[in-house]
Chains A and B, each alone.
Chain A
Amino acid sequence: MSYFSDIINGTKSLLTGMRITGKYFFVNFLTRRDVITEQYPDNLETLKMFDRYRGEVTMYHNENNEHRCDACTLCEKACPNGSIEIVSDKKLNPETQRNVRYIVKHIYHLEMCTMCGLCIEACPQDAIQWGQNFHHVQYDRGKLTKVLNKPGSTIMSKTKEKK
C-alpha cells in the first residue's frame, strides 16, 4: 500500500515547499520587507559597507595629522603587481644625531590593486588598513592613483601606541 501513501506524502511535501516559497513571494510582493537588492547609484548616500569590506587601502592618520609609516617598503615588496610605490628620503634626527628614513609619498595605484591584502598583512607598524569606500568611479584613470599620506603629515613618535 506504499503506492497511495507515496502519492499522499509526495503531494504533502510539494505543498510544503510551495508554502515556503509562496510566503517569500507574498511578503516581498506586498511589503518588500526582505528584499536584499541594493539599487546602487540611487542609494549611494545611505549605502554603508560592512567593516571587513575591502574597498581600498588607506593610511591611518590621527588627529595631529600623524601616521605610523616609517618607509620600510615592506608593503611595496609584498605587492604582487606593483600597485604601491614609496618615495622616501632621509633626514637628520636632532635628538639622536642619526639619519632617519621618512616617506615623501606613499603612492597607491587603485586601478591596479586586486584587493589581495598582502601589503596590509606585511606592514609591521599597522600603518595601512582597509577602507570601506567602494564608489571609485572616475572618468580618468590617472585619478585612481592616490597618495596615501596626507600633505604635511609626520610620523608618530616611537612610543608605540598599540592599536
Chain B
Amino acid sequence: MILNVFTDIHNLLLGLMSAKVAHITELVLIGVAYLGIFAVLGLFLVWLERRVAGFFQLRLGPNRVGPSGLFQTIADALKLVTKELTGTVKADKQLYKIAPYFVITTALMTMALIPFSHEIQAFDINIGIFFLISVSSIGVLGIFLAGWSSNNKYSLIGGMRTGIQMISYELSVGMAVVTMVVLAGTLQISEIVELQKGGWFIFTGHIPAIIAFMIFMIAGTAESNRVPFDLVEAESELGAGFHTEYSGMRFAYYFLAEFVNMFIIASIAVVLFFGGWLSPFGITDAIPFAGLFWFSVKVIAVIFIFMWFRWTFPRLRIDQLLTLEWKYLLPINMVNIVLMALLVWLGLTF
C-alpha cells in the first residue's frame, strides 16, 4: 500500500518532467523527507531520554508542554534557534563553522540505509553494512574538528579523547558486525532482514550471537559517546568537552546528532540481531505498515537499554576505557568470530 504511494508519486513526476529531472526531484524529495525524520526523531529521543531519566531518578520528567510533555523539546529547539551564535575570537572560524555539518551529514547518510520497513529504505546497496560502518566513522571528524578549532583546552582534550575512543571502539563494533555477517553470508541490509524470517539471528546464532550482541551494545554505547563512555563531554571534568564553545543551533546540531546516532546504532542492532521489521513469528505479515510498527518497537526497546546503561553506570576513566577495549572486548571478539565461523561451517545454526 505504501509502495503504491511511492509509485504514484514516481508516475506523477514522470508525467510532469523528463526521466532525468524526475530522478533528481525524487532524490531531493527523499532528502527533505529524511531531514524531517532527522529532526522529529532527534526531538522525540531527547524527550524520551528526559522522561526515562525522570522515572529512573524518582522524578516525572517534562510533563507540562503538550500531552506528557511531548512538545517540550520542540519548545527547547525553538529557543535554541532564536539564540545568538557565538564563538571565540581565536577560534579557527571556518573549521569551527563547518564542524557540526560533518556530524549531521554523517548521521543523515547512515540513516539512508536504515530499513524502516519492507518498503521504506532509501538506499539499499549490496555492501550496505560495510558502507554503514565506513560512513559512520566520518562522524568522528566533526567532533575532532570542533574540539580542535574551538581553540579551548577543554574542547581540545574532549576532541583528543574522541579520537582515542572512536578508533578503539570502531574496531569492536566492526568485528561484532562481522560476526553476524559470517552468519548471514551477505552485506545487503534488506537481505539480512529477509534471512531472519525463519528466526532472528540472536536465536539462530546460539552463544556467539549473544556474545556479539553484548559486545555490540557496549561498543555501540561508546560509539555514540553516551554514559558510561562520555569522556568526550565529561561535564564534571571538561565543562562540556568538544562543544564547550558552541551555542544556539550549532550546539543543537551536536545534541540532535548524538541522539540520532544512538538511533542508528540501535537500528543496526535490530537489523543484525532482532530481525529488523519482521514481526515475531510472522504474526502480522499481512497488515501494511506493520513492519514500520515492529521496527519502531524494537528500536525503542534497544534505545531503552542504552538509556538504562546511562542511568546506571558511572563514567570510565580513560585507562579503564582502553583496557576494556584492547584487553577484553577485542580478544573475546576475535575468538567469537572463529567460533561463529565454526558453527556456520559445521551447520550447527538453526
Contact = CB atoms under 8 A, between A and B. Distances in A.
Given A22-B308, A25-B52, A36 B58 contact: yes
Nearest to A20: B312
Contacts of B308: 18, 21-22, 25
Contact of B55 (A14, A17, A24): A24
Interface string A134-151: 000000000000000000
B312 A37 contact: no
Interface in A33-61: 34-37, 39
Contacts of B37: none
Prevailing SS type, chain A contact patch: helix
Interface residues of B, number: 15
B312 A7 contact: no
Nearest to A19: B312
B56 interface: yes
A122 B311 CA distance: 47
Nearest to B332: A7
Contacts of B60: 32, 35, 37, 39
Contacts of A28: 55-56, 58
B326 interface: no
Nearest to B328: A7
A37 B59 contact: yes
Interface string B300-316: 00000000110111000
B59 A35 contact: yes
B328 A21 contact: no
Interface string A2-38: 0000010000001001101110110011001011110
B58, B60, B309, B311: which has the most chain A beta carbons within 10 Å? B58
Contacts of B57: 24
B56 A25 contact: yes
Contacts of B332: 7
Nearest to B60: A37
Nearest to A29: B55
Contact of B312 (A17, A34, A35, A39): A17
B59 A14 contact: no
A156 B308 CA distance: 62
Given A7-B328, A17-B312, A21-B56, 12 more contacts: A18-B309, A18-B312, A20-B312, A21-B311, A24-B55, A24-B58, A25-B52, A25-B56, A28-B58, A35-B60, A36-B58, A37-B60
Interface of B: 52, 54-60, 308-309, 311-313, 328, 332
